[in-house]
Amino acid sequence: MTLKTPEEYIQSIADLRLKIYIFGAEVKDYTEHPIIRPSLNCLATTYELAAMPEYQDLMLATSHLSGEKVNRFAHIHQSTEDLVKKVKMQRLLGQKTGSCFQRCVGMDALNAVYSVTYEIDQARGTDYHRKFRDYVRSIQDEDLTVDGAMTDPKGDRSLPPHKQPDPDMYVHVVERRDDGIVVRGAKAHQTGACNSHEALVMPTIAMREGDEDYALCFSTPANAEGIFYIYGRQSCDTRKLEGTELDVGNKRYGGQEALMVFEDVFVPWERVYMDGELEFSGLLVERFAGYHRQSYGGCKVGVGDVLIGAAALAAEYNGVAKASHIKDKLVEMNHLNETLYSCGIACSAEGFCTAAGNYQSDLLLSNVCKQNITRFPYEITRLAEDIAGGLMVTMPSESDFSDEKLGPIVQKYFAGSCDAPTMDRMRVLRLIENLTLGTAAVGYRTESLHGAGSPQAQRVMIARQSNMDHKKEIAKALAGVGKELPKTCPGQQEIASVAH
């Protein structure tokens, strides 16, 4: 087993010859496309840091399948320590990239499917878990990136999958053959799909009677016949086509989302890990959601660190760093960010061992973690925009700063603190714009709300996991609920005597 270098990883993605469409046209040399390349650089960082000695404790883990060191993104968690290191790794990568590094969904999918296939086998006598272990081993040995594919378009949300007017609104089986199955449909909002070697497809909701063809889990090469991608737009994405650095904000890194379409894709039986086991579809969704909601306590915190640092620099460059209200706002931003991190660490430390032997984050605390993520980054963003000032969204373009006539004028009038070069001030303001409003907002602000499920999805799980019956019982015990009162209270005679 050999770990890939960043260069080897990028070349391996180019070799897949994926069918990707942007702005209505197919992109051939997609690894060099200005809009795609920043997301590719971002994911490549997961390979880069894995090769650096100072980060290997977080970035690498010992595989329980081979005994060899593997990238943690391909690891099956063996302890609560593994779960904690996962969150710490994600914070580190958020700090290094200031964006979404796209491998978390695949890691979370691998771990969820690992435990659920074991339990299906125990209940049904199937052979899913053996096949999936072999699959995980191949991912580890080849150091591959996996896209965790869960979210279906869903169509009419009031209808179950099998009653949709268009059956393709959920990925489903259209044919079962001796050698495998044929599937059709799409997966939406696929983070890093165009930067992945493999896709691990899961059901998106708990299936019910009639949904057997939709209760489906399988893996497929990202370049399998019948798969193509429609690249998702992000705010300000065409700035990357202009060849400028200043206007982009984060000049090297970015996120990626795509619609992944399956047009009669063949999947051999060896790659099928659930086929009609309705009662386990909800369990798979629940465990994946637990892992992925835990992840947000790391990645969003790391990007939050970048935003807080940029806000502090903006305050310095604006000449207001010593103002008490600015100091207080930065304290509040750090308080909120570290609270999110505390949630990520807590649900990891309280994790439990599944029947399959891998560790699952605490489901209640994972959902509490993500519920906070739907709120706190919005306040951190508001405070950052407050500190940065209006110039963040009204400053001229890099072309104006580079112009022979206009350059000196905008340099003069947009100067801030005497100690800060104008262009440094502009660079930091563009970074804040990128993090709060631009392409990175998908990986921070907006994704904080909708990624890993909308806020209501977490509230449903919190209600389910809160064990209200236990809470009522302990309250009853302390209050003495159910006990008969004595006919004469011992202290009543004394009170009556004193009153008399």
Residues labelled as active-site residues: 100, 104, 191, 257, 292, 296, 299, 447
Distance CA(448)–CA(446), nearest Å, equals 5
Distance CA(136)–CA(143), nearest Å, equals 10
Distance CA(37)–CA(376), nearest Å, equals 30
Distance CA(434)–CA(249), nearest Å, equals 5
Non-local (6+) Cβ contacts of 349 within 8 A are 80, 83, 84
Q: Are strands 69-71 and 180-187 parallel, antiparallel or unpaired?
A: unpaired
Other C-beta atoms lying within 10 Å of the C-beta of residue 464: 13
CB hemisphere CA count around 288 (13 angstroms) = 31
The beta strands (E) that lie in 269-410 are given as 272-275, 352-353, 359-360
315 burial via Cβ count (<10 Å: 0-12, 13-18, 19+): buried
DSSP character at residue 3: P
The beta strands (E) that lie in 276-393 are given as 352-353, 359-360
Non-local (6+) Cβ contacts of 466 within 8 A are 364
For 472, the enclosing helix (H) or strand (E) is helix 468-479
DSSP character at residue 361: -
Distance CA(7)–CA(115), nearest Å, equals 33
For 266, the enclosing helix (H) or strand (E) is strand 258-268
Distance CA(214)–CA(173), nearest Å, equals 7
**C-beta contacts of 418-425 below 8 A and 24+ residues apart:** 418/319, 419/316, 420/316, 420/317, 423/246, 424/317, 425/314, 425/317, 425/318
Q: Are strands 20-22 and 227-231 parallel, antiparallel or unpaired?
A: parallel
Non-local (6+) Cβ contacts of 206 within 8 A are 281, 282, 285
Asked if residue 227 lies in contact with residue 220, where contact means CB atoms within 8 angstroms, the answer is: yes
For 181, the enclosing helix (H) or strand (E) is strand 180-187
CA-CA-CA-CA torsion sign (428, 432, 434, 437): negative
